[in-house]
Amino acid sequence: MGRRLNTDIALQNFDMFYKPVYGELWPSLRVSLLTSSKYCALLNTYHTEQDKIEEKLVNLGCQNGMAMLSAAFNRLKSKDLSGEGEGEGEGDKYFIKEEVNLDVVPSRPSEKMIDDDEEEDKEENLIRRAENEPIREKNTSLFDFVPADEVFTEKEKLIKAEFESSVYRGNSELVCNDLSKSRLNRLQNTLEWYLGERNPSYINISNQNAVHFQDSGFDKVLVDVPCNTDRHVVAVEENNLFKPGRLHERLTLSTTQRNLLVSGIKACSPGGSVVYSTCTLSPAQNDGVVQAACEYIWKETDIDIAVVDLDFIPAICGDIFKFYKGCRYGQLVIPSLSCNFGPMYFCKIKRLN
């Protein structure tokens, strides 16, 4: 009897742990993970022939995802402003600290926004509105086109969007940190492909363990953590997380993720926000890590934080992605044969003080 493949071990592990969680959804999720995924293409908006490339891709049958999202956002905004759908639980909300439990606190209707700089009574400081951030128009694009011979990861798309936002504001700096030198090298290749230089002066590329990250004062922090990488481990043998030699790493992964998220929260400025993301279906590595990090922050530090409700995102992005409805704190894009993106989990946390 030959050695068991690491990919088979990973799939057996998912059958054991994911099937009870996702129930009747699991057969569809399982076959989708084993099937080639779809891609979002990102157009290089600095290319001099951007319009020609976009026209070519449209002629090939590509759809402009950003236009779809903008149209969906405008429909949702019109509905909110007309007063439709108002009622219990409507509008942006925060999950806030209450005896170290995360509970939903409804806010005022969306058109009555509370400014983050508004002086309020200290006892009310925990209840805040989420920012009304409209979908950005052309040139700040998570879902625009890219030349067909180049495909980027979700992490690289987010870095690109953050870069554009920083440059347009002026006097800003983007810090990109990763413990893996190979991933940093891929990032530098992406920067060179987009910007013509590997080490722009306004981008600080750092190679350190983010658990011990010392910098602080960031307005926005993206904590894209190592995780099960579900698609990768059921398809690729090389350096598979489920190989016997990586057992300890896999068993301590949730702790590492929590420590990275705690570090990200500490690095964030008061009033700033942190986005936590993974590419796994694992509840323990998604909502579980958010819960653990919040409990640590509330018990061990003087920092106050709130988990921002992102329930509006499926309403805007539901024509492109399929979302799982069972998450408590974040949003989870789940794969399906007809819409084979993900898995991708993301959760937004705001630092209040």
Residue 92 labeled ligand binder:
no
Q: List the catalytic residue out of 279, 294, 327, 347.
A: 279
Cβ neighbours of residue 321 under 8 Å, at least 6 residues apart?
314, 333, 339, 341, 342
Radius of gyration of the chain (CA): 21
Residue 224 labeled ligand binder:
yes
Rounded distance between C-alpha atoms, residue 175 and residue 203, angstroms: 6
Contact (Cβ atoms closer than 8 angstroms) between residue 132 and residue 110: yes
Residue 339 structure tokens: 């819409």
> Pick from 348, 349, 264: which is nearest to 304 by CA?
349
Q: Across-strand partners of 175?
A: 204
Q: Which amino acid type is present at position 152? A: F
Contact (Cβ atoms closer than 8 angstroms) between residue 201 and residue 191: no
Residue 124: how many CB atoms within 10 A of its CB? 9
Helices (H), 252-286: 253-267
Q: Across-strand partners of 351?
A: 305
Cβ neighbours of residue 75 under 8 Å, at least 6 residues apart?
none
Helices (H), the chain: 6-22, 26-33, 50-59, 65-81, 154-169, 181-195, 230-233, 247-251, 253-267, 287-300, 312-317
Give one word for 62, left, alpha or beta, with left for phi > 0 and alpha for psi -120 to 50: beta
Rounded distance between C-alpha atoms, residue 284 and residue 286, angstroms: 6
327 a catalytic residue:
no
- Residues classed as catalytic: 279
- Residues at the binding site for S-adenosyl-L-methionine are 178, 224
- Residues at the binding site are 178, 224
